[in-house]
């Protein structure tokens, strides 16, 4: 499978503390000098693009915490060969930035929102910022992005009762609501071991509320989601089954964290780093050769377990 997709984490910091991620409980955060600078991120992106990457998704932590994020978006959008620049954000800081990010060249936005109920939102994220996140989503829908998606991690006994309400949003707004299966990623989230609810069960709940959903062929931007639509709905529904139906065969992505460490697979311990090469001013050809070796490692790696070892989601952005 050609590697055409880079998920690029811009920071390990976040303004939330979601139950399934808990970045605020990490031993420490990266120091400023550990982070790749904007021009280093742009040089890395250009190298990935020379090696076949066509789409970059900006993640975190919370990417909007990165200083001068609009300037960085402009730099990345100018990378030759890059077709698409997207972002996954928790939406809390998005409302005042949506229009300028769009103007800077950001094509698509995914907003991670796990509850529409202020008390449940606070329980899940540790924050009172549901209104700001909702305003961020609404601003994204107004800003003219080519697509806006809403990601909900479905957790049994925590927010699964809200599944019909979330599905309703895809009928009232031109948004793709995606239900993501929860899977444990670190010992810190052990209290969630019983929170797993399969996509099949989630879909049953939507159909119980709204009737049979029509399966639609996944578009080029749907990734691993199984996509459905309700007749007359403005938006669509997606089900992402990272646990019950993992999609390694179709995986076309690698990840790089904000220090330049490259992860061929979310589940593979193996990392490679570009930071020293970038800071040593390594010529483009040598940088590209290094990246091609990483792609080779990926093509040989086989995931052998439905759950993860220890992954710092806030370092990699999932």
Question: Which residue in 4, 17, 261, 275 binds ligand SF4 (CB under 6 A)?
Answer: 17
DSSP 2-52: ---EEEEE--S--S---TTT-GGGSS----GGGSPPHHHHHHHHHHHHHTT
Peptide bond preceding 61 in cis form (omega within 30 of 0): yes
Q: Can residue 313 be called a binding residue for ligand SF4 (CB under 6 A)?
A: yes
Q: Which is closer to ligand SF4, CB of 61 or CB of 238? A: 61
Which helix or strand (DSSP H or E) is residue 215 part of?
strand 214-215
Position among 23, 224, 242, 264 found at the interface with ligand SF4 (CB under 6 A): 23
Nearest residue (CB) to ligand SF4, 192 versus 213: 192
Q: Specify the residue, 63 or 238, whose C-beta has the smaller distance to ligand SF4.
A: 63
| DSSP string for 252-304 | -EEEE-TTSEEESSTT----EE-HHHHHTT--HHHHHHHHHHHHHHHHH----
Residue 14 is a binding residue for ligand SF4 (CB under 6 A) = yes
For ligand SF4, which is the closer residue by CB, 101 or 313? 313
Select the span of 13-21, 25-33, 49-57, 129-137 touching ligand SF4 (CB under 6 A).
Answer: 13-21
- Angle separating helix axes 199-210 and 163-172, nearest 10 degrees: 60
| Residue 61, φ and ψ in degrees, nearest 5 | 35, -150
Of 11-19, 163-171, 272-280, 289-297, which part binds ligand SF4 (CB under 6 A)? Answer: 11-19
Q: What are phi and psi of 79, to 5 degrees?
A: -65, 125
Helix (H, G, I), strand (E, B), or coil: what is residue 244? Answer: coil
Is residue 171 a contact point for ligand SF4 (CB under 6 A)? no
Out of 21, 45, 95, 225, the only residue in the binding site for ligand SF4 (CB under 6 A) is 21
Our CB check for ligand SF4 shows the closer of 115 and 229 to be 115
Would you say 256 and 6 are in contact if contact means Cβ atoms under 8 Å apart? yes
Which stretch of DSSP H or E encloses residue 111?
A: strand 108-112
Question: What value, to the nearest 5°, has the Cα angle with vertex 74 and ends 69 and 78?
Answer: 145
Among 220, 310, 299, CA closest to 266: 310
Q: Is 189 near ligand SF4 (CB under 6 A)?
A: no
- Closest CB 314 distance from ligand SF4, rounded Å: 4
DSSP label of 93: T
Minimum CB distance to ligand SF4 smaller for 207 or for 312: 312
Supply the minimum distance, in Å, between the C-beta of residue 197 and ligand SF4. 18
Q: Which of residues 77-96 bind ligand SF4 (CB under 6 A)?
A: 90
Q: Does 258 bind ligand SF4 (CB under 6 A)?
A: no
39 to 78: interface string for ligand SF4, x by CB under 6 A: ---------------------xxx----------------
Site for ligand SF4 in 99-158 (CB under 6 A): 112
**Residue numbers at the binding site for ligand SF4 (CB under 6 A):** 14, 16-18, 21, 23, 60-62, 90, 112, 313-314
């Amino acid at each position: 499978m050609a590697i055409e997709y880079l998920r690029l984490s811009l920071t390990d910091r976040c303004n939330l503390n979601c139950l399934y991620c808990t970045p605020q409980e990490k031993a420490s955060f990266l120091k400023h000098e550990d982070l790749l600078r904007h021009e280093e991120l742009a040089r890395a992106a250009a190298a990935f693009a020379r090696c076949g990457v066509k789409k970059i998704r900006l993640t975190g932590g919370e990417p909007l915490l990165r200083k001068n994020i609009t300037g960085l978006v402009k730099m990345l959008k100018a990378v030759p060969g890059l077709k698409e620049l997207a972002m996954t954000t928790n939406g809390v800081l998005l409302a005042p930035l949506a229009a300028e990010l769009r103007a800077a060249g950001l094509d698509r936005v995914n907003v991670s929102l796990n509850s529409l109920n202020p008390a449940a939102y606070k329980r899940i994220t540790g924050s009172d910022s549901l209104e700001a996140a909702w305003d961020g989503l609404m601003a994204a829908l107004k800003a003219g992005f080519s697509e806006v998606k809403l990601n909900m991690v479905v957790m049994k006994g925590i927010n699964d009762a809200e599944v019909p309400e979330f599905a309703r949003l895809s009928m009232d707004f031109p948004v793709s609501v995606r239900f993501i299966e929860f899977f444990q990623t670190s010992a810190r989230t052990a209290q969630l071991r019983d929170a797993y609810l399969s996509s099949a069960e989630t879909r049953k709940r939507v159909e119980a509320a709204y009737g049979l959903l029509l399966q639609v062929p996944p578009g080029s931007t749907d990734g691993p989601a199984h996509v459905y639509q309700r007749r007359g709905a403005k938006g669509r529904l997606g089900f992402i089954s990272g646990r019950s139906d993992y999609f390694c065969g179709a995986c076309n992505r690698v990840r790089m964290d904000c220090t330049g460490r490259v992860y061929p697979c979310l589940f593979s311990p193996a990392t490679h780093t570009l930071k020293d090469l970038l800071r040593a001013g390594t010529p483009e050809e040598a940088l590209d050769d290094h990246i091609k070796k990483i792609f080779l490692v990926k093509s040989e790696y086989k995931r052998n377990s439905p759950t993860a070892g220890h992954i710092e989601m806030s370092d990699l952005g999932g």
